Each structure stands twice: as C-alpha cells, then as structure tokens.
Amino acid sequence: MLAHSAIASLFNIPIVLTTSAETGPNGVLPEEIASMYPSAPLIRRNGEVDAWDNSEFRDAVRAQNKSQIILAGITTDVCTEFLALSLRAEGFTIFANTEASGTFTDKLARDANDRMKDAGVILQGMFAIVMDLMRDWRNTPGNKEVLPWLDRYLPAYGYVARGHEAAVRNGTLAPGEEGL
C-alpha cells in the first residue's frame, strides 16, 4: 500500500485520502501514508463502507476534475471493488491496483477482480501502472525519477536497472539501448 500511495507524488497526481471509520475496525489512515500528502484532502467517513456513498468524498473527487482514477483499498472485495464499481457507474475510467489491496482468500480476490473487470475496471499491478503513467523512459518523470522509485518499492526491478547502469558504465550495452 505504501508503494501505491507513493505513485501520486512520483507523477504529481492529485490525491484524495479517506478512512471509513477511524474509531471503528479499520482505524486511522497509516501515518506513513498521511505524511506523504499533508495537504491532500483526507475525508474521514462516518462508517460508509463504499467511499462513494459519502458526499464529502464525492465532492473531493469531483473537485479534482479528473476522469481517470487509480485506486486501491484495504480489501479487494470490499474497499476497492465497491468504490471501483460506483466510480464506473458514474463514468470514470478506473485503474485498480491489484497489488495494493488484499482479501481473505484467493477466491474472494478472483471474484472481486472478475466483477471489476466485467464492469470495465482496468486491473493492473503497480509496475504496470507506473509504466503506463511514465510511457517513455525519456519523459519527466522518466529514467532519472522512476528508477530510484522502483528501486525503493520494487527492488527486483531495481536489480535489473542497476544491471543496465553497469552496462552503460562499462560499455556493454546492447545495440539500440544507448538512448535509454
């Protein structure tokens, strides 16, 4: 969830934070996430399970004036799915980060992902979302900004990147990789 939360700062994407019931079973937003976005709207819902059922949350999302939303929640089959389906019903394009939430069984996750996919939600993992936003290593953010981020949040890819960096330094790049 921390990696998912950090995507917005990497790409300077507006963000709306929310909790369902801070005094209830899910508790407060983790400080590690809240501290990333101290000036972002934090909607403290009164218990609504589907965030879209809260008018303050709906207003905050609409105020961003965006038609595409990347989301995740504590649980795939409730927090993510309910909101994703509500947002799709309102005409938003939704990217659900399949790695940033979980649930109690593989079956529940599959069922929730199937329902979201059937409703037109785009299911992607964190790496695919980041690459989709970046589009080209030469962009900004691109190679210089994204590789350190990936090294922190997806170390396996960091190893690949460091291998590429070593090839640049020692002159063993494959043909066509010089501009990357």
Active site residues: 79
Distance CA(149)–CA(118), nearest Å, equals 32
Four-CA torsion 31, 32, 35, 37, nearest 10 degrees = -120
Structure tokens given for 120? 């037109």
Cross-strand pairs, 1 = none
Rounded Cα–Cα distance for residues 94 and 105 (Å): 23
> Helix H segments across 104-154?
106-118, 126-134, 143-153
